[in-house]
Amino acid sequence: MPGQAPVESTATAAAALALSLSDGRTLVASRLEGTRENGFAATVDGRVERLSRGDLVAVHGVAVQPLDLAAAWLPAGEVVRGTLTGGDPAGDTLTILSPVLGSVELAVDRLAAFVPAGGASPRLEPAALPLPTGVDEALFVHARIGYDLLAGSLHRFTPQGVRFATSGNETAKAYGKNEFVALRIGDPAPREEPPVATLLTRTGDRLGVGAVVFTAEGVRCELENGAVAALRVGDLACLSFRGPWTYLSDLEPTAVDETGFEGPVLLPYRRDAAVAGGALVAADRTHGKGLGVHSRSRLTFTVPPGAASFWTRVALDDSAAALPLRPDVDVRVVHGGVVAFERRGLEPGGEPADTGLLPVSPGATLILEVDFGKGRELGDRVDWLTPIFLPSPAR
């Protein structure tokens, strides 16, 4: 594809895909072809299973592998990671060369933050870089201790960095990528159209996408500016589709109860991310939707109108296995005051525990609970994976 980044994937194109279906099943497909509009053909254990519109909730591919890349952050947690290659002279766009998406052009008015590569800085998110009241744009520059904030206005992106004018100066100054921690813009424009799905890539890109086409070679996704990105299967981390369902992570909890073993919880819960940051990855599979929590955690939700069942999987995040600890937790799903699912002694490794389809009643409470298991809670990083409320099956 023209503009494709010349960086080879470390994963194979023949990597199997895990498919989350709206009937509560999970299939492992060696091949997936088709479109959502016309349906998919999934090859499972040598046989072809036809999936119609609305059957496919999410496609889970490889684990996200964070790299030291620059990050262009958009609203709602969307991000493109890669190498800054510049921008147009008028300052309306910037271009990122992603290892898996190729050359991606982004509108500056959609930008919430730009974080150059280097050290820990690409992991910074816009929420960690608040703007003072009355400041709409700012450059966070390196200082002897921490950073200094320069209020002003962005003029344009260049291959070397940015041209930025501080408040009171009409002339913009060039700042190289190694001279600033981040650029922040306070009021980015929202998307014009809601996405069909949310894409996560091997290198940690997260983007809302339009039309999605699976072929024998990989997957093509339409970006919001109309451009098409082509990925190999081995570069796909997750695709989470919108549909007549409700992801739990899109809802606000009605109550949050989090406590540590001897004090406050070590890490508060996070939406659509692992509790320690990064993607939700369990058993080497990435989930774009879900909740990352630390024991002890009790999140209460109200079952939305139209919901007939609830389904999720739950596991220790793969990052917990790398700790010099032996995490162990008890997990439960409680509906209307009754324990609908429970697994004691959940440990790292193996496939996530599957609740199966749990009947629910709109307006009732649903609680996701993670309790201390054996020992302390220091490594108890738990992922609720693609938790979803599903409507009654169409007749």
Distance CA 171, CA 162 (A): 13
Among 87-101, 132-146, 283-297, the minimum mean pLDDT is found in: 132-146
Q: Which of 5 and 380 is assigned the larger pLDDT?
A: 380
Tell me what the mean pLDDT of segment 379-390 comes to.
96
CATH architecture of 246-391: Sandwich (2.60)
Q: What are phi and psi for residue 249, nearest 5 degrees? A: -70, -10
Structure token pair of residue 367: 């609680």
Q: Please give the DSSP secondary-structure letter assigned to residue 202.
A: T
Q: Where in the chain is the domain with CATH 2.60.120.1060?
A: 246-391
Average pLDDT, the chain: 91
Q: What secondary structure does DSSP assign to 16-72, as a single string?
A: -EEEEETTS-EEEESEEEEETTTEEEEEETTEEEEE-TTTEEEEE-SPP---S-EEE
Distance CA 79, CA 71 (A): 6
Which of 11, 190, 6 has the alpha carbon at shortest distance from 85?
6
Tell me what the mean pLDDT of segment 156-161 comes to.
97
Among 11-20, 308-317, 362-371, the minimum mean pLDDT is found in: 11-20
Which of the four pLDDT bands, split at 50, 70 and 90, describes residue 11? very low
Q: What SS3 state is found at 231?
A: strand
CA distances from 385 to 82, 86, 254, 296 (A): 27, 37, 20, 18
What is the reported pLDDT for 144? 81
Let me know: does 41 contact 50? Beta carbons within 8 Å. Answer: yes
| Res 337 pLDDT > 90 | yes
What is the reported pLDDT for 325? 82
Let me know: does 369 contact 3? Beta carbons within 8 Å. Answer: no
Which of 168, 169, 164 has the alpha carbon at shortest distance from 153?
164
What is the reported pLDDT for 263? 86
What is the reported pLDDT for 122? 53
Q: What angle do CA 269, 271, 72 make, to 5 degrees?
A: 120
Q: Is the dihedral of CA 111, 113, 116, 120 positive or negative?
A: negative
Q: Which helix (H) or strand (E) holds 371?
A: strand 365-372
**Amino acid letter, 254:** T
Which of the four pLDDT bands, split at 50, 70 and 90, describes residue 376? confident
What is the reported pLDDT for 15? 65
Tell me what the mean pLDDT of segment 183-187 comes to.
94
What is the reported pLDDT for 10? 32
Strand intervals (E) in 118-217: 137-142, 147-158, 161-166, 173-176, 180-185, 197-201, 206-209, 212-214
What is the reported pLDDT for 12? 33
Q: Please give the DSSP secondary-structure letter assigned to residue 323.
A: S
Per-residue pLDDT tens over the stretch 35-50: 999 999 999 999 999 9
Instruction: Judge if pTM exceeds 0.85.
Output: yes
What is the reported pLDDT for 129? 85
**Unique residue bearing structure tokens 């190289």:** 176
